[in-house]
Amino acid sequence: MRRRWGCVAYAERAMNPLNSPPRTGPGPAPRSPRGAHSRRVATALLGAGRAIVTATRSPGRRQEPLMASSPHAWVRVAPYGVASVFAVILLPSTMNVLTQDYRLNGGIAGAAAVLQAAPLLLAVTRPVFAWGIVLCADVMTAIALLRMPGLEDRSWPWPPPVIVGYLVLMVSLGLRERRRTLIAVWLATGAVGLAFHVTSPERSHGSWVLLLFLSGGFLALSGAVRERLDVQRRLSEQESISEEERARRTLLEERTRIARELHDVVAHHMSVITVQADSAPYRIAELSPLARAEFESIAASARESLAEMRRLLTVLRSDGANGERTPQPGLDRLEQLVRATVRAGVSVEMSVPELILVRQLAELSPAVDLSAYRIVQEALSNVVRHAPGSFTSVSVGLTAEHLTVLVVNGPARSDASRVEEVSAGSGQGLAGMRERVRLVGGELDTGPLPGGGFRVAALLPLGADAESLPG
């Protein structure tokens, strides 16, 4: 019990009479008035001590220092500065008042001043623990002053410096702790003051009542400020969440609109091309085997485009939580892409070392693998549209840190029909290449050649990663 109630045990020992006459005969021992006062103080302080322990065991809602969430450095440092100023002022003033006005022993006055002023620095991070130290120091000081004669005209049990330091501590508590803890602190303060008033009413001049009302006011005011700041913080967080939800909803609506347009326009026309190419050998009589093979190639390419279109529509219509289930194309499908381009009438030479095909699954991230494939695909599509019949070279190289992609085509043959004349390009192909390269942190170089033709060169880092790119 003495270990748990340090303040109470000290009060009991301090108020036991030192000059009580020993018991020499039978019958009940005579009661000392000072002993009766001691028992009343111990009983009152016991209840106050229970409130102290209850409040001390109620941790603050946040463990960081006061004002630690502020974005400004000077605001985060301000609580330490204010606590240091009060500690520096109260330490000598408390010591001076206790020694000069109350004629308390210098050593006891110095210890009491340190225990009442130093915990103000601790109050920035652990205000309840600091309050427990300060309250015990105030109780011991009041007990020591109770034994000093000739101080009936002095403020007791709380000297003026004690009241000032205690109120500073109340502000720190109110800005950090919950309402239940603040009420427990206030009740404990009143119980300790009332106990001293009951012990020596002739010396109590109402300082305990003054501290009771002032501490309640400071706790209520600082607690109201804290609750208002908490409400503003929660409102700000809710507004931020609402803004993110609105942006996300707008993005989903835009993606849904794009998916609807792609489905209604592009997917419809690709389906028509597939049906026409598949049915051409049955609708047109006496087709040569070469023409039949050409229609089969057109139908296969259209079906592959439809499959990628469906995958893209799935990505656009989803919220991105599940991601894509089907595998994306990569460098292992370059040969199939080149064959389709050759069937379209473009002479293509591909140079891809076998080492790349062996290492690409282990070395390349999915984003880089997909980006390399899409760059070659878009470059070959531009050759088919804008330079039909030209000679094209596709080469892929691998270094220790980068993957290089180079697509070079010569000038278009004069006797070849230019698709560009029928359907002018939208100019989005090169922009799409640049976006893919930028997402993986690579470099892209495009431009016409001096003798005619065009060049597309990309440098992609091997270890780069990015968000899943739609097919």
Tokens read off for 391: 């000679």
8 Å CB contact between 188 and 55: yes
Q: CA torsion, points 58, 60, 63, 69, in degrees to nearest 10?
A: 170
pTM for the model: 0.46
CA dist 159 and 103 (Å) reads 13
Provide the 10 A C-beta neighbour count for residue 244. 10
* The residue type at 10: Y
CA dist 138 and 141 (Å) reads 5
Q: Note down pLDDT in tens along the chain; length 471 residues.
A: 334 444 444 444 444 434 444 444 444 444 444 455 556 656 655 655 555 444 444 444 455 677 776 777 887 888 888 989 999 999 999 999 999 888 888 888 999 999 999 999 888 888 999 999 999 999 999 998 887 877 777 888 899 999 999 999 999 999 888 889 999 999 999 999 999 989 888 888 788 999 999 999 999 999 999 888 888 888 888 888 888 888 888 887 887 777 777 766 676 677 778 778 887 887 787 788 888 888 888 888 888 877 777 777 776 766 554 444 556 778 888 888 888 888 777 888 888 776 555 555 555 777 888 888 889 988 888 888 788 778 899 998 888 788 899 999 988 775 544 444 434 444 567 887 888 888 888 999 999 998 888 999 999 887 665 444 445
Which of 223, 235, 122, 130 lies closest to 176 in space, CA to CA? 223
Tokens read off for 238: 């809710």
**C-alpha distances out from residue 281 to 292, 294, 301, Å:** 6, 10, 17
Mention every residue, 6+ apart, whose C-beta is less than 8 A from residue 281: 287, 292, 295
